Amino acid sequence: MFAYFIRRILASIPVMLVVALFVFLLLRLSPGDPAAIIAGDMASPAQLANIRAALGLDQPLHIQFFVWLGELVRGNFGTSLISQTPVLTMIGQRLEPTVSLAVVAILFTVVISVPLGVIAAWRHGRFLDNLVMSASVVGFSVPVFVIGYLLIQLFALELGWLPVQGFRSLSEGIAPFASRIVLPALTLSSIYIALITRMTRASMLEVLDEDYIRTARAKGLAERAVLFRHALRNAAVPILTVIGTGFALMISGVVVTESVFNIPGLGRLIVDAVLARDYPVIQALILLTAGLYVIINLLIDLSYAITDPRIRY
């Protein structure tokens, strides 16, 4: 397995290089001039030329790319064109809200969706199965921002149990952190709860028809042990794939949720950077997301061997 791990890490290097080249060309060849944005509407041609020279935008594209790539290798993601703040500093300031939101959301997703999927498969074709599947259809169909506003209306405005918006760091205390993360996490996890519930149900239905499940029941094992110890473990590979991919999508797709609940995370940062055409910030965030996908896919592959001993690398 260690050799497989090393091979996957080495194979991810050309993937990241292709992503870096794509991001660089996409932003450089798109309409707009960052020098004009920095200088303002009243800037003279000479001032624009000086800003382009300072940013290296007057160099050929291939020179710009290799200079930028060299800085990345040294851990320098550049400085924001707008705020003149190092990009890594800006990301570090916004990282905790987004990661906290994604982690709590994936915990809600797993805790709710996996048992629901197991129960739905166990009661296949009956009322409980139909109820769970109908609820999952609703979860797929209703937009995330609508769910967010409904949760705010119910739990924040009418019942007054939770704050409407904002974020508190975990260092400020568990209660302030939890009170402000529950509603956004439930909002973000809604579509993934529906997805993983359906995936768990489908995987469990395939496994429950196997001979070893009938044998386990014939030996007198409790139904809970049959479902969760034998069936769920053998159905876990596709479920783990969806859970891991869902976690990556949560981190990269929190823009709407952070906007609804006024959370100062990476989603808000990338929206501001795109509107301002802040190249270094956009590039760093896209590369961060791509690297996250590579790491999570690697962890998912390694988890297969843990959950299913029949898989060997």
Average pLDDT over residues 95-112: 88
Q: CB–CB of 276/37 below 8 Å?
A: yes
Least confidently predicted of 37-51, 61-75, 148-162, 266-280? 37-51
Which CATH number among 3.40.50.880, 3.40.50.300, 3.30.1360.30, 1.10.3720.10 corresponds to the domain 96-307?
A: 1.10.3720.10
Q: Using CA of residue 25, residue 26, residue 27, residue 30, what is the dihedral sign?
A: positive
Residue 172 burial by Cβ neighbours in a 10 Å radius (0-12, 13-18, 19+):
exposed
Per the rule left: phi > 0, alpha: psi between -120 and 50, beta: everything else, 169 is beta
pLDDT higher than 80, residue 147: yes
Helix residue ranges per DSSP H, 142-235: 144-151, 174-208, 211-218, 223-225, 232-234
List pLDDT tens digits, range 37-80.
666 666 667 777 777 776 666 777 778 788 878 878 887 887 88
CA distances from 200 to 112, 114, 232, 243, 288 (A): 11, 6, 8, 10, 30
**Alpha-carbon span 49 to 57, nearest angstrom:** 9
**The whole model's pTM is what?**
0.78
Give residue 2's pLDDT band: very low, low, confident or very high (50, 70, 90): low
Distance CA 188, CA 265 (A): 14
Phi, psi of 79 (to 5 degrees): -120, 140
How many helices (DSSP H) and strands (DSSP E) are in the chain? 15, 0
Instruction: Please write the tens of the pLDDT for every residue from 214-258.
Output: 787 787 777 777 887 777 777 777 787 788 777 777 776 677 888
Q: Name the region of 86 (left: φ>0; alpha: ψ -120 to 50; beta: rest).
A: beta
Domain definitions of the chain by residue range: 2-73, 96-307
Predicted pLDDT at 313? 54
Across the strands, what pairs with 86? 79
The CA distance from 40 to 48, in Å, is 9
pLDDT tens column, 124-146: 888 888 888 888 888 778 888 88
